[in-house]
């Protein structure tokens, strides 16, 4: 109990006296997770739309696979990316292992099925009458698709928020492919794991509190953006 209280006290102190090293760790965490989320969104949303609008062979299998991959164990993803990027692996020549780029790749793979699958669910949840309404008003097939995506925007935003939660809290994959190198690939979650191993619970707890605070802030921002948009269209 004492160490928990000390942890929170230290967290408060760390936030107040943010030193350069800690700031670098926080910024790298946000950069890696943010880039991974953007990549997963850029790749995932078009696939969501394709799965939502088109009929093609093996679509059901693809959806089942995406739903399964939503629960991918991070260490398995870490291991696969490690094998791909290791010197003897097929992409070893790119020398990406133990770099932030490797961490971004691993996190993108973890977020991709979440953004895609939940994005697809949001698109197919749009009332089919919207498609007909836009057609009756003269929309081209592309404009019809865009209208449906616009109608699904709040569900899509929820999919992105879920993807963000996944990458921000992730530790197993980035520990394997990033190596937790101080000043280079050390992010908040890997630092927490390291400090816990070292028995430095106060610092680990302090970092956990900061991580939670950042996640809360970003989620609150997204939530308010979503709520504001909904209020504007329902008031």
* Residue whose CB is less far from other proteins, 74 or 155: 155
Using CA atoms, how far residue 34 sits from 73, 101, 163, 166, in Å, is 20, 12, 10, 11
User: Which one, 2 or 233, has the nearer CB to other proteins?
Assistant: 233
CB 52 to other proteins: min, Å? 17
- Count CB-CB contacts under 10 A for residue 214: 16
8 Å CB contact between 120 and 63: yes
Q: What totals of helices (H) and strands (E) does the chain contain, helices first?
A: 11, 0
Q: Could you give the string, one character per residue 110-129, with x where binding to other proteins holds by CB under 8 A and - elsewhere? A: -----------------x-x
Query: Which CB, 53 or 201, lies closer to other proteins?
Result: 53
Task: Compute the least distance from the CB of residue 157 to other proteins, in Å.
Answer: 13
Strand ranges, E, within 106-178:
none
Lay out the site mask for other proteins across 215-234 (x = CB under 8 A, - = otherwise): -----------------xxx
Cβ atoms of 103 and 170 within 8 Å: the answer is no
Q: Give the residue with the Cβ less far from other proteins, 31 or 131.
A: 131
* Residue 143 sits in the site that holds other proteins (CB under 8 A): yes
The interface region with other proteins, picked from 27-35, 73-81, 130-138, 220-228 by CB under 8 A, is 130-138
Smallest distance from the beta carbon of 122 to other proteins, in angstroms? 12
CB 133, CB 59: distance < 8 Å: no
Q: Report if residue 55 touches other proteins, rule: CB under 8 A.
A: no
- Output the CA–CA distances (angstroms, integers) from residue 82 to 30, 49, 74, 102, 129, in the order listed: 22, 31, 12, 8, 47
The verdict on 158 binding other proteins (CB under 8 A) reads no
Q: Taking CB under 8 A as the rule, does residue 235 contact other proteins?
A: yes
Give the number of residues in contact with other proteins, rule: CB under 8 A.
20
Q: What does the block give as tokens for 62?
A: 């693809």
Cα–Cα distance, 130 to 189 (Å, whole number): 43
Binding site for other proteins (CB under 8 A): 127, 129-130, 132-140, 143, 147, 150-151, 232-235
């Amino acid at each position: 109990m004492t160490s928990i209280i000390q942890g929170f006290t230290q967290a408060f102190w760390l936030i107040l006296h943010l030193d350069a090293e800690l700031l670098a760790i926080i910024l790298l965490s946000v950069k890696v997770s943010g880039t991974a989320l953007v990549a997963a969104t850029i790749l995932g949303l078009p696939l969501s739309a394709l799965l939502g609008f088109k009929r093609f062979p093996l679509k059901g299998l693809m959806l089942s696979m995406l739903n399964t991959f939503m629960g991918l164990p991070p260490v398995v993803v870490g291991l696969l990316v490690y094998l791909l990027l290791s010197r003897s692996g097929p992409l070893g020549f790119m020398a990406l292992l133990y770099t932030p780029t490797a961490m971004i790749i691993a996190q993108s793979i973890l977020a991709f099925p979440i953004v895609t699958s939940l994005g697809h669910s949001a698109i197919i949840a749009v009332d089919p009458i919207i498609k007909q309404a836009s057609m009756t008003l003269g929309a081209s097939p592309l404009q019809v698709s865009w209208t449906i995506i616009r109608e699904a925007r709040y569900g899509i935003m929820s999919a992105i928020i879920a993807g963000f939660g996944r990458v921000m809290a992730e530790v197993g994959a980035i520990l394997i492919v990033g190596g937790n190198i101080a000043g280079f690939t050390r992010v908040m979650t890997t630092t927490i794991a390291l400090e816990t191993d070292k028995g430095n619970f106060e610092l680990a707890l302090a970092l956990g509190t900061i991580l939670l605070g950042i996640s809360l802030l970003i989620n609150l921002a997204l939530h308010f953006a979503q709520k504001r948009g909904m209020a504007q269209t329902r008031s």
